[in-house]
Amino acid sequence: MAIAKKSIALISALILLVGIAIYSSRNSPIVYQLLSTLSCPNSSLPVCNSVNAKTVQPTATGKNGAVVSTQKEASEIGLQILKDGGNAIDAAVAVGYALAVSDPCCGNLGGGGFMLIRLANGKETFINFRETAPLAASKDMYLDEAGNIVEGLSTKGYLAVGVPGTVKGLDYALTKYGTMTSERLIEPAIKLAKEGFVLQQGDVDIFEDGKKRLSESNVAEIFLKDAEVYQPEDILVQSDLANTLGLIAETGTDAFYQGEIAEKIVAASQENNGILSLEDFANYQVSEDEPVNCDYRGYRVISSPPPGGGTTVCQMLNILSGYDLKAMGWRTPVSLHHIFASMLLAFGDRNSFLGDPNFVDNPLDKLLSAEYTATLREKIAYQAIPPASVYNNIQPEGTNTTHYSVVDREGNAVAVTYTINSYFGAGVIAPGTGFLLNNEMDDFTSKVGEANQFGLRQGEANIIEPGKRPLSSMSPTIVTKDGGVFLVTGSPGGSTIPTTVLQIITNAIDYEMNLNDAVNTPRLHYQGFPDRILSEPKAITPETIRGLRLRGYNIVPFRTWGAAESILLNPKTGLLEGVNDVRKPAGKALAY
């Protein structure tokens, strides 16, 4: 009888939780509080003892160098490179290859990304190794005869794959700004792939989340064991990947773009309804550009220009620079109202104006000007701005990206964000190569005004064209003060990336948080469509929710996102401080 009562009680509790989850979309402060408390108990604002207090790591401190990445093995490799006399660029290249082994969902050889560099002599540069659309790509390649999007074509399989850029990007950075040989920097990754590494719970959670992407037989034989996800303490060995890395180390980028690796990828693509060609690989080029930059309360912010998300970061900061956030209070209805308005206005301009600068005239001078920013502030009144009044095309982007940060003893700083888009990309591995290919083609506008797989509605500037790079939210960012590095940050998270970077900067500057709190405080995100504020557990109080509802905002409790692996140079102590984001517990911050 007692057992029966306990069972009934348990079932009732489960039904109640399901009911709460369903009802949460109605924006009830009570429901929000219940869900948040379940996810983050015994907490106190403003920081909720981080998103998950149990996984908070101590801040790593040192005066000679720091490396922070989403995998401890990669961080250890990067730090050893610094200790062996390499500079931040050398370490960043080594970490990039190591993450291709230890972070297979997101770190990559089969994708692309951005590297932001600030050298100790003050030189700032941006290396763009974002994927490009194949030469056979067309603007209607994912539409049926009626002009409707065919579900799955841009997200799964070889037709979803853009031409990878990571190998050329890392080689370009090393050749121009590094000091060590590629063989020396790739060797630790080869060893990691050949001998394997011990999986942690955080790794296993990612495999579990992405299990559906691992169904192809040659993918499953690497990342599943007897059709099931690996468990903590299992060792993941990747022999094909070790061989691929060995080829790159021995013969350079030619192995990837004009040799055996390209041939294997193209053959697999052509056998599986893809459109990749050897010409696509042979023609791929890295570009180097000036970063986008803006000033914020006496600090200088440099970030990724189009097709990256740094323009969106700077637009939000420019808008907020006209308000005293500290005086408005920490996450009060009035401070959040202005922050959300800045997010919406910046994302609206992203939708309307931004794209690959080789194909689109991005009006950055206008978008980042004081005069234009003033016109945006004029739109902010008491009520929430209607999203339809901001977006030209009415209708979150891949969350499964990797960011890492490096600073060396000379003061060189590197922020890298790269991706294969969805967890485990397109879910395909060309036989014999050992690495997953991206599904970045979904980041293009498949149809103007229609959302991609993660809810972003794209504009005409981001339409598919051969050789074009898709628009990205990736925003590797470096903040300087008085001519020296202050903060190195960035994050995965698709459309949440710019808003994550924004909150870390405002947390550190406006609210004077230490780096651990600035990174691990629960986050909020707003992009206008869908018209809802995403809130990590315990990000705001029920009282604040009521105040925001009065202004017309809809607050939705949401799971955690991002992994802002960050480094700060503490102006008081002169020490580098590295912080691993608790949202990726397999990551590690190291300094010496």
Cβ proximity of 75 and 129 under 8 Å = no
Query: What token pair was written down for 361?
Result: 């005239």
Beta-sheet strands, E only, within 365-412? 401-407
C-alpha 591/C-alpha 93 separation (Å) is 17
Helices (H) and strands (E) in the chain, counts: 20, 21
Instruction: Report the C-alpha gap between 508 and 487 in whole angstroms.
Output: 9
Q: In what order do the strands lie in the sheet with 60-62?
A: 60-62, 576-579, 566-569, 484-489, 477-481, 299-303, 292-296
- Residues present in the chain in total: 592
Q: Is 401 a catalytic residue?
A: yes
| 461 three-state secondary structure | helix
CB-based burial, 346-365: b 16+ in 10 Å, e otherwise: bbbbbbbbbbbbeebebebe
What is each CA distance from 303 to 289, 359, 376, 470, in whole angstroms?
A: 11, 21, 21, 17
Quote the CA–CA distance of 257 and 167 in Å, as a whole number: 9
**Strands 228-229 and 401-407, sheet pairing:** unpaired
Q: Which two tokens stand for residue 591?
A: 């300094």
Return the structure tokens found at 558. 């949401």
Interatomic CA distance for residues 165 and 112, integer angstroms: 5
Strand order of the β-sheet with 555-557 is 524-525, 533-535, 555-557
Question: How is the chain split among helix, strand and coil, in percent rounded to 5?
Answer: 40, 15, 45
- From residue 350, alpha-carbon distances to 202, 306, 308, 353 in Å are 33, 10, 10, 6
Burial bucket for residue 549 (CB in 10 Å: 0-12, 13-18, 19+): middle
- Termini Cα distance of the chain: 61
109-143 burial, b at 16+ Cβ within 10 Å, e below that, comes to bbbbbbbbbbbbeeebbbbbbbbbbbeebebebbb
Residue 373 to residue 402: CA distance in whole angstroms: 31
Q: Are 192 and 199 in contact (CB under 8 A)?
A: no
Give me the catalytic one of 311, 399, 401, 496: 401
Do residues 32 and 545 make contact, with C-beta atoms less than 8 angstroms apart? yes
Q: Which residues are catalytic?
A: 401
